[in-house]
Structure 1
Amino acid sequence: MSTPDKHHRNETQIVAEPDLPSILITREFEAPPELVFRAYTDPDLVVQWLGPRRLTMRIDQYDARSGGSYRYVHRDEDGTEYGFHGVFHEVRPDERIVQTFTYDGFPDSVSLETAVFEDLGGRTRVTSKSLMDSVEARDSMLKSGMDHGVREGYERLDELLGGQQGNGLDPHTGTGS
């Protein structure tokens, strides 16, 4: 199963092989790896892009280093909260993040996620693989609407990075311009 994003030049590819309990997400960004990586690891930036636009995000803890952990909560318009937490197993600057991911609503379903940041000469390809406990757990995640949240989050990340507008994170300081 593959679902490309038809609305953006850098399509978000989401692939779930029929018999494997995993989801592979690939997306390119118009920014160097150090900026994309920083957007993944700096809680002040993560809160600006992770997840769909309709949700607000509160970060309770975000220690993006090998051995660190995180907890954040997305809040819907009606006040419903969705909590997520995990542990960073490996954080290799500008290259790779390996972490667990657990949704509070399904505490027995923990996925292992690996994000790789590939330098494309001033641009970055991020390839993320999520490994679940079972194909059923994977299918449940896909049915939850995660593909919509991933696509919208990546659109928001494009905006934060400056995308095609030329504004966003300064490539020298990593801060908003």
Structure 2
Amino acid sequence: MTTTTHETQIVADPDVPLVRITREFDAPPSKVFRAHTDPELVVQWLGPRGLEMRIDHYDCRTGGSYRYVHSDANGEYGFRGTFHEVRPDELIVQTFTFEGMPDGVALEKLVLEDVGDGRTRLTVTSLVDSFADRDAMIASGMEVGIVQGYERLDEVLAR
């Protein structure tokens, strides 16, 4: 089976400390949503290739929370947050914290839009405290993890 890879657009907003990520998938919103909310699927695609992922807990519902760890030969990288609003097939609002920088909390909003023909446009906005924090997040290699993660998500959705 051939998987179509769409371009991932990552844009730093010039006016507020926000990053906007846009990507289309060749799957309906219900499948893309499930891949973001089912921990058995999340562990198969989230993050860059070459890192192992362990989920400590992942309760993707309004009021739920999560914690997962990526690891490689250099160590472990923990991430955690809470789900503020979860609406099936359309919206996830959550906080996101890299435990290596525990004072930096991002507010993230994921919107799924049905664009027809069984396809979905995903738009994620990630708002942080300052332009310095936003620029540090971008400089951390975030782009590689997002692009590779969404390529891996294409593979999960194609199964």
TMscore range, shorter length: over 0.9
Provide the C-alpha distance between the structure 2 equivalents of 1:120 and 1:73, rounded to a whole number of angstroms.
33
Aligned to 1:120: 115
Q: Which of 90, 94, 98 is the matching residue for 2:89?
A: 94
What is the 5 A alignment of 1:1-177?
A: 9-76=5-72, 78-121=73-116, 122-162=118-158, 168=159
Per the TM alignment, residue 38 of structure 1 is displaced from its structure 2 partner at its CA by 0.2
RMSD over equivalenced CA pairs, Å: 0.9
Unaligned runs of 5+ in 2: none
> What are the superposed Cα offsets for residues 86-108 of structure 1, whole Å, 9 maximum, x if unpaired?
00000000000000000000000
Distance (whole Å) between structure 2 residues aligned to residue 34 and residue 72 of structure 1: 23
Runs of 4+ in 1 over 3 A off after TM superposition: none
**What letter matches 1:106 in structure 2?**
M
Superposed CA deviations along residues 117-142 of structure 1, whole A, max 9, x for unmatched, are 00012100000000001000000000
Do 2:80 and 2:96's aligned partners in 1 also have CA atoms closer than 8 Å?
A: yes
One-letter amino acid of the structure 2 residue matched with residue 82 of structure 1: Y
CA shift, 1:10, in A, is 1.3
AA matched with 2:106? S
- Aligned pairs, number: 155
Structure 1 residues 55-110: Cα deviation after superposition (integer angstroms, max 9, x where no partner): 0100000000000000000001x150000000000000000000000000000000
Per-residue CA deviations over 1:16-35 (Å, capped at 9, x if unaligned) read: 02342000000000000000
Cα distance in 1 between the residues matched to 2:95 and 2:129: 12
What's the TM-score, normalizing by structure 2? Answer: 0.95
Q: Which has the higher contact order (CA 8 A, sep 6+)?
A: 2
Q: Which moved more, 1:9-18 or 1:83-92?
A: 9-18
Using the aligned pairs only, state the percent identity: 66
TM-score by length of 1: 0.86
The answer on whether the counterparts of 2:92 and 2:111 sit within 8 Å (CA) in structure 1 is yes
| Cα distance change, pair 22–98 in 1 and its aligned pair in 2 (3 A) | same
One-letter amino acid matched to 1:24: R
Structure 2 CA distance for aligned equivalents of residues 65 and 147 of structure 1: 27
3-state SS of the aligned residue for 1:105?
coil
Q: Distance in 2 between matches of 1:38 and 1:44?
A: 10
